[in-house]
Amino acid sequence: MQPTDPDPTRPATRLTRRAVASVIPYVESWLSFRQRYLRIPGVQAAVLFQDELLMSRAYGHADIANDVPLADDHLFRVASHSKTFTGTAVLQLVDSGRVRLDDRLGHWLRFLAEAHAPAAAVTLRELLTHSSGLIRDGAEADFWQLLEPFPDVQALRALALTDTDVIPSNERFKYSNIAYGLLGLVVEAASGRPYNDYVTDEIVRRLGLLNTGPELDPARSDSYAVGYSSLAYAETRVPIDHVDTRALSAATGFYSTAADLCRYAAAHFPGDERLLSDAAKRVMQHEWWTIEGEDNSHYGLGFSIIKPDERRLLGHGGGFPGHITRTLFDPEDRFAVSILTNAIDGPADDLSTTVVHLLELAAKLQAETTPTPGGDRFCGRFANLWGVRDIAQVGDRLLLLDPTSGTPTKSYNELTVVDDATLQVAKGPGYAAYGEPMRYSFTTDGQVESVRGPGGMSWWPLEGYALPGDRVSLRH
């Protein structure tokens, strides 16, 4: 394998443990608000820095009908996260010399070579990078709507012999679950073990992941968060059953938790050779293909790679009937974020990216500004007729943020302490009330009673806030 540099540029600000720890309380508060505000059944979240899990939380419900609160050890179907495990398994076999990335598929799956099927000619590298040109899910894929079972091995083999190839290999990035199903068969052929057994022994158990596995586990049926349908086509959400993905386990079968996925991501940091050599990780994390239609988005060998700003993030998303999930990690700054939602329209991508932005903002403010002392007493979530605003400590600074915004880090005000009952807007957008005060009223025991400004309007703590009566009318 040829070592490659996965990260030729670095963001200007490096994360520190103090910066990450400083913003975790607000991350927790913001996720709790977003779960309720967006009417997501449940959100499970974790943040890891270096080798330390700094946050593992859950919000909402695992089961709405039975009023079961979501816990941080409820299991989620993490779908295409499975591809990262399959990529890791193949690279382990490469590391041990049993497999080469440029082996043709027909070398390992002889039934394809014997039938002279076009799929026999594609390489393992092409399958891993989604450049094989193979069909995404097959001509009939209503198993994604639970209208039929997922294909078994016999059905997968039959599909691979017929209309699998769609475009020539290496023409462009073309996502394919079928490609990863076939890679699962390669892992079996090269290791001499069933795919599910191999990844359980060589990845899951090596890392001590107690809440992760390659396929639906009936023995743990009570531990799974219920998945729900979308609000796009109905007024209420409908529960969706968990099903076995059979021959597509290598593409989409895994279950896990946010905490376990962060721990798994840490095994892909440089210097951690529990799963792979550093040389193998560099190959796996290289940007092999650009993903058309998505800004600054690439794909490696089982990992997606995005650059929402200057930071280079690896990981994967997952879309399963009832669950949308996303894990992001930076192997250089050695942190990971995982967000799991139990709705088929859950905003896991947006939530995880915003959490990363909050971590970056904390590091930036900590590095570039002096601390704001005495700010804790002013913090909280406040409401009035116009909405909700947060006063929060982020990276040693006191900020005014909008939690209803999907990207609260893009527009915020920095605040300074004037006295023990007054803040002042020291920095912010042009349309904000720059330079104006925020005057607090406190109860005798030090709790915030109300806030006046900036801009002169009154705000009250969100907990307990309610509109006056059933109609908003002019008061005299």
Structural contact between residues 386 and 462, judged by C-beta atoms closer than 8 angstroms: no
Position of tokens 């104006």?
A: 436
Cβ atoms of residues 265 and 338 within 8 Å: yes
* Whole-number Å distance between alpha carbons of 355 and 361: 10
Q: Give the chain's end-to-end CA distance (angstroms, integer).
A: 78
| Distances from the Cα of 267 to the Cα of 8, 91, 92, 97, 262, angstroms | 21, 14, 13, 21, 9
**CATH code for the domain defined by 1-368:** 3.40.710.10
Residues 6+ away with beta carbon under 8 Å from 66:
none
Cβ-Cβ contacts under 8 Å for 378 (sequence gap 6 or more): 391, 398, 415, 417, 423, 438, 440, 448
The rounded mean pLDDT for the chain is 93
DSSP-based three-state secondary structure for 442? strand
Q: State how far the Cα of 316 lies from the Cα of 335, in Å rounded to an integer.
A: 15
Token pair, residue 103, equals 């082996």
Cβ(85)–Cβ(92) below 8 Å: no
pLDDT for 12 equals: 54
DSSP calls for 288-322: -EE-TTSTTEEE-SS-EEE-SSS--EEEEEEEETT
CB distance 35 to 62 below 8 Å: no
Q: How many CA atoms lie within 13 A of 152 on its CB side?
A: 2
Q: What is the dihedral of CA 223, 229, 235, 236, to 10 degrees?
A: -20
* Contact call for residues 42 and 70 (beta carbons, < 8 A): yes
- The 3 state secondary structure assigned to 329-350 is EECCCCEEEEEEECECCCCHHH
Q: CB–CB of 389/382 below 8 Å? A: yes
pLDDT at res. 260? 98
Q: Do the beta carbons of residue 190 and residue 98 sit within 8 Å?
A: yes
Task: List the chain residues with pLDDT less than 70.
Answer: 1-12, 368-373, 476
Q: Indicate the DSSP class of residue 263.
A: H
Q: Given this model, what pLDDT does residue 1 score?
A: 42
Per-residue DSSP letter, 200: I
**DSSP for residue 3:** -
**Cβ–Cβ < 8 Å for 246, 238:** no
Q: Domain boundaries in the chain?
A: 1-368, 376-461
Is the Cβ–Cβ distance between 89 and 267 less than 8 Å? no
In this structure, what are the phi and psi dihedrals at residue 346, rounded to the nearest 5 degrees?
-65, 140
Structure-block tokens of residue 190? 């090269």
Residues 6+ apart with CB under 8 A from 431: none
Rounded to 10 deg, the angle between the 177-191 and 153-161 helix axes is 110
> For residues 147 and 422, what is the distance between their CA atoms, to the nearest angstrom?
61
Q: Which residues pair with 256 in a beta bridge?
A: 76
What pLDDT, on the 0 to 100 scale, is given for residue 373?
67
Distance between CA atoms of residues 276 and 88, nearest Å? 8
Neighbours of 153 (CB within 10 A): 13
Other C-beta atoms lying within 10 Å of the C-beta of residue 460? 17
Query: So what's the pLDDT on residue 350?
Result: 96
pLDDT at 3: 42
pLDDT of res. 294: 85
Using DSSP, state whether 210 is helix, strand or coil: coil
- The Cα 268–Cα 335 span in angstroms is 11
Which pTM value belongs to this model? 0.94
